Chains A and B, each alone.
Chain A
């Protein structure tokens, strides 16, 4: 598999070299990534722009399958490191930073004034006071809803959680799932938890919990789960065996009203036939009015592996990706939000809503449960969330188990 995939960019690289042999010595920059089709096209355009600006550098992109990349990266970082590699911000990059697999790129940040322009993401890129990569995009999470379903039962779009729960009664009477999700891959459930916890206990508490400083048996966590229990009966049954895309189908068909999701799902909803008229977006409603509104916006990043051979050009590439105009163009193609504060966002209503939401966030911006918490805690936590949504009576048992894991993992 890997060999087949490898040969394609290699052949491409040879073809490119042959085509440009008249040019003075080109330096190659190997870039491993895990793009889906739309981001891949966006990045091919970005690379073309980069090569036009730097004619002596040839970027060879090797694209991996998205899920396979997550395990492949551990192999290629230690054996056959590229010059650039995609990964994620927050605690998700900690294993590679701590084991010395990623290179410190603080100089790229300092030389290009990124502390200013990418200021909103600097916290999630910093470990031990140094920066370990450059972010190029992020996207908001929130509640996507079916406007037709709301009209059908005569519900108002809620701003508080009490209203949201009250709406659920209306949807239940019409045999519509108030909240849908598909947790067969576990992570969609973590989105619900993150928001409930951010709205109940706030950003600082949530961060303390994911970094292991708060006990899972704490009253704050219990309060979050108590709020969750109020909507648990209205969540799509059998979600544990449903993919997130299949749950999206339920929303498209009007069999479910709300879906806590990231903005990347908009493409799936629209492929299913929804339009800006029938698909709505709202911030997760307020639970505790005393808590400053915080949001969830996972950041995607590019890193230089410690084993990179062409570090100089890799840093040039990172600086290029961080530029305001480059991020504007890239994110317009991605349908997501640029990190650079000098960039502008597209006219898509969901993008502008996300930009509005995130740029006015007073509380703070979380990455996502599996990026904020260490890998092992994330896995156990997400299993616990799924179990709670299936058997809410197991709560004490779940929390005790997570607390036991916390004491072991963060020691």
Chain B
């Protein structure tokens, strides 16, 4: 008798609480992972950034010294400047992707093949993109070098030139990024309401005005996603720098993420604390954008409701 009573009591506790408990139960595994692999490392990075630590021996408390050094460090300034160049120029992927998407948004024979060919660079790995472009730029045998040598008599080795190298790597990065933005806009264009276009056409809108006042407002969700992924792509531009130049020549193509890796983890990097300080700065820069995006998303959701 007592057994059944406790059972009913248990069941009734579950029944009365399951409404609010269930979502938490489903969320728990994700939250544990997020806390363990995202939140905790963030705080750990903050902590390590106040130490001088080679990753092996004893860590030594430094206070703000790593940050003070950072703001005097020319390599850090170069990386920061390059990150800004990346952010600005990488944004070109959005209008260019839109242009190609509009161009491909027509019904002719074999359009699917053209679409997949344009999408192809996004499918191949960044490492492969980097290798292909470094051969394209390579001194003595690269296509671009040969071409400029043929045209001007003197070949341009983009990756050996401290002033050109960052632009050369961004060009390589834009290739897949444009394809990504294109595919976002292509799906967006499928959802553009045909009756609105019809109505606009009756009112005499065409060309650029049609694009600006009728099509683009309907593509706003696609634009938002395209901008978000492009900003994030620009800030974490690590793989191309690592594959194409290793940050060289003499550090001219470094970005923050690569500089962090160099200081903390690379062949000559034994400065975990300094690397962590760079990571913290990069995190703060990203936070500016991330909070902006989140703020916009929250506002949009409220607006819809």
Q: Show the binding face of A for B, using Cβ within 8 Å.
A: 67, 70-71, 74, 77-78, 95-96, 98-101, 183-186, 237-242, 246, 250, 370, 375-376, 378-379, 383-384, 386-387, 390-391, 401, 408
Contacts and interface: CB of A to CB of B under 8 A. Distances in A.
A390 B162 contact: yes
A391 B57 CA distance: 39
A378 B268 CA distance: 8
B251 interface: yes
B55 A74 contact: yes
Contacts of B162: 390-391
11 contacts: A74-B55, A74-B56, A99-B54, A238-B139, A240-B159, A241-B138, A241-B159, A241-B249, A376-B271, A390-B160, A391-B162
Interface of B is mostly: loop
A384 B265 CA distance: 21
B140 A250 contact: yes
A77 B56 contact: yes
Given A70-B267, A74-B56, A401-B74, A238 B157 contact: yes
B56 A184 contact: no
A387 B249 contact: yes
B232 to A, nearest CB: 26
A74 B158 CA distance: 35
Given A240-B160, A240-B250, A401-B74, A95 B54 contact: yes
Nearest 8 pairs of A and B residues by beta carbon: A240-B249, A99-B57, A241-B160, A238-B139, A238-B157, A379-B268, A99-B56, A238-B160
Contact of B137 (A78, A101, A241, A378): A241
Interface in B242-270: 245-246, 248-251, 262, 265-270
Contacts of B251: 383
A71 B263 CA distance: 12
A387 B159 contact: no
Interface residues of B, number: 29
Highest count of chain A CB atoms <10 Å: which of B140, B246, B265: B140
A70 B262 CA distance: 13
Contacts of A239: 160
B269 A375 contact: yes
A78 B158 CA distance: 41
Given A74-B55, A77-B56, A100-B57, A240 B266 contact: no
Given A376-B269, A386-B250, A387-B250, 10 more contacts: A67-B267, A71-B265, A74-B56, A184-B248, A241-B157, A375-B269, A379-B262, A391-B162, A401-B74, A408-B69
A383 B57 contact: no
A391 B249 CA distance: 11
Given A186-B248, A239-B160, A390-B162, A96 B268 contact: no
A95 B250 contact: no
Given A239-B160, A383-B250, A390-B250, A71 B139 contact: no
A78 B245 CA distance: 31
Nearest to B274: A376
A78 B56 contact: yes
Contacts of B267: 67, 70-71, 375
Given A71-B267, A239-B160, A375-B269, A386 B249 contact: yes
Given A241-B157, A241-B160, A390-B160, A384 B250 contact: yes
B56 A101 contact: yes
A269 B271 CA distance: 37
Contacts of B140: 238, 242, 246, 250
Nearest to A75: B55
A237 B249 contact: no
A390 to B, nearest CB: 6
A386 B157 contact: no
A387 B252 CA distance: 10
A237 B156 CA distance: 10
B248 A375 contact: no
A179 B160 CA distance: 17
A185 B250 CA distance: 10
